[in-house]
Amino acid sequence: MAARTPGARTAGLETHPDLREMRARYDVAAERTVAQIVNGLIMLTGLYLAISPWVVGFRGRTDLAVNNLITGIALTILGAGLAAAFARTHGLTWVVPVIGIWTIIAPWVIYGSAVTRSMIWNNVVTGVVTVLFGAAAMAAMALRRK
């Protein structure tokens, strides 16, 4: 392995010859109406997930309420990032379905069999919607590459 001299710069992604083309392609994809709608829906789903414990009424279930609040805020920020700077955040679209899957299983992971029907319905439906929107965001990029 060659020794680095102090102050020497290593070639990174910013020097890649196709970087401008990739960013331009992602900018075009982000400008499409479908991508903007999906990113906005991801953000709205995150907002709902954050407030859902108080909308549905997770009485005495503060652990799941805090989980939904934090997960919802993260999803909202991710959706806003995808909408505002898709060329820089496109690599994070895979996180949206992961958050959706976590939302689906969180009631059982956190409370086991002591979950209520309202908690289950809220998290499962919100999680499925999140997975679908995440898949749509990833599909928008896959279609654009062709």
pLDDT exceeds cutoff 90 at 45: yes
Rounded to the nearest integer, the mean pLDDT of the chain is 82
Query: Structural domain boundaries of the chain?
Result: 21-145
Work out the burial of residue 101: count CB atoms within 10 Å of its CB; fewer than 13 is exposed, 13-18 middle, 19 or more buried: middle
Query: How many other C-beta atoms lie within 10 A of the C-beta of residue 22?
Result: 14
Of residues 23 and 59, more confidently modeled: 59
Alpha helices, DSSP H, located in the chain: 19-31, 33-52, 62-84, 86-89, 95-111, 117-145
pTM as predicted: 0.76
Arithmetic mean of pLDDT, 42-61: 91
Arithmetic mean of pLDDT, 74-85: 90
57: left (phi over 0), alpha (psi -120 to 50) or beta: left
